């Protein structure tokens, strides 16, 4: 019975997230994160070639695909696999995910009308990566701190993946209220956080995932960001007992297990 209740709470959470999204027409509903891997069998690898190939595809296909809201590349910096590369796309709704793939195929034919030329380009592009990849789909959540403008230089992306616990004495209303207070007082006031995007699992390997993406200018600023979180929390809840109570209430909604990942956002390859 407890397991079924947890699944029910998960379903309620996703529906509440969807309702929040419906209130923000401009926000894309879904994020598709594809973990790819470099082709380690290549004798030579040229970073400039990679950027040139993907920039050509970006200009000729992705930028012209009205169904893709955004797209970005991220390279391994501090993760468990140095061969991995993330490709992240955002979509307005579920139907656009499939429709965008069809539209990209149409645009590719328009960009390379000659069959042999098109085949040669994609063979060259595919050689960059191994055949192994995995996909996760997340639902975007309320409370993002948006990037003020498109970055013109590489940035540091810090991902923290926590796991929802779905306590029996909890409620979506309480979590949303607590989370809103923390976002307003800590995340949005943190000068080192240039952008912040929270996402909940929608389709993939782990339905408890809560993924938070923090964009900072550098690794140095990542350290400053983390230090500043403690400072801002102390300012928001100066009374130690109140601060501990806030932490206790928030803590029951998470398992206590989390993972940390650091990637480099690649400037010039984003929509």
Mean pLDDT, rounded, for 42-57 = 91
Tens of pLDDT, residues 53-108: 999 999 999 999 999 999 999 999 999 999 999 999 999 999 999 999 999 999 99
Per the prediction, the chain carries an average pLDDT of 90
- Taking the CA atoms of residue 179, residue 181, residue 183 and residue 185 in that order, the dihedral angle to the nearest 10 degrees is -150
Selecting from 3.40.228.10, 3.40.50.2300, 3.40.640.10, 3.30.70.100, what CATH number does the domain 30-135 have?
3.30.70.100
Written as one string, the DSSP assignment of 22-44 is HT-TTS-SEEEEEEEEB-TT-S-
Tens of pLDDT, residues 194-206: 999 999 999 878 8
CA within 13 Å, CB half, 82: 1
Task: Reply yes or no on domain 142-265 having CATH 3.30.413.10.
Answer: no
Q: What percent of the chain has pLDDT over 70?
A: 91
pTM metric for this prediction: 0.86
Q: Do domains 30-135 and 142-265 have the same CATH topology?
A: yes
Tens of pLDDT, residues 179-225: 999 999 999 999 999 999 999 999 878 889 999 999 999 999 999 99
Domain spans, the chain: 30-135, 142-265
Which tokens go with 213? 């993406």
pLDDT of residue 254: 97
Backbone dihedral region of 70: left (phi > 0), alpha (psi from -120 to 50 degrees) or beta? beta
Mean pLDDT, rounded, for 11-18 = 38
pLDDT of residue 25: 52
Written as one string, the DSSP assignment of 46-102 is -HHHHHHHHHHHIIIIITT-TT--EEEEEEEEESS-TTEEEEEEEESSHHHHHHHHH
Tell whether the model's pLDDT for residue 114 goes beyond 80: yes
pLDDT of residue 42: 81
Tens of pLDDT, residues 163-183: 999 999 999 999 999 999 999
Angle at 88 between CA 82 and CA 90, to 5 degrees: 170
Tell whether the model's pLDDT for residue 3 goes beyond 80: no
pLDDT of residue 93: 96
pLDDT of residue 43: 75
What does DSSP assign to residue 170? -
- Residue 17 pLDDT level (bands cut at 50, 70, 90): very low
């Amino acid at each position: 019975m407890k397991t079924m209740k947890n699944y029910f709470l998960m379903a309620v959470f996703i529906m509440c997230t969807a309702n929040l999204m419906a209130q923000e027409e401009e926000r894309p509903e879904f994020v598709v994160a594809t973990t790819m891997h470099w082709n380690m069998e290549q004798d030579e690898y040229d970073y400039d070639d990679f950027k040139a190939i993907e920039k050509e595809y970006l200009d000729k296909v992705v930028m012209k695909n009205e169904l893709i809201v955004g797209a970005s590349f991220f390279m391994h910096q501090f993760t468990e696999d140095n061969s991995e590369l993330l490709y992240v796309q955002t979509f307005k709704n579920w139907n656009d995910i499939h429709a965008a793939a069809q539209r990209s195929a149409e645009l590719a034919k328009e960009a390379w009308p000659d069959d042999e030329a098109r085949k040669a380009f994609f063979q060259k592009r595919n050689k960059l990566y191994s055949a192994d990849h995995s996909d996760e789909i997340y639902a975007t959540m309320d409370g993002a701190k948006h990037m003020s403008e498109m970055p013109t230089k590489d940035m540091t992306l810090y991902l923290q993946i926590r796991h929802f616990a779905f306590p029996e004495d909890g409620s979506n209303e309480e979590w949303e209220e607590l989370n809103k207070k923390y976002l307003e007082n800590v995340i949005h006031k943190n000068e080192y956080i240039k952008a912040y995007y929270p996402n909940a699992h929608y389709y993939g390997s782990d339905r408890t995932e809560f993924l938070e993406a923090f964009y900072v200018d550098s690794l140095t600023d990542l350290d400053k960001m983390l230090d500043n979180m403690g400072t801002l929390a102390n300012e928001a809840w100066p009374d130690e007992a109140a601060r501990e109570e806030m932490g206790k209430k928030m803590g029951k909604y998470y398992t206590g297990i989390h993972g940390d990942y650091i990637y480099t956002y690649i400037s010039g390859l984003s929509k």
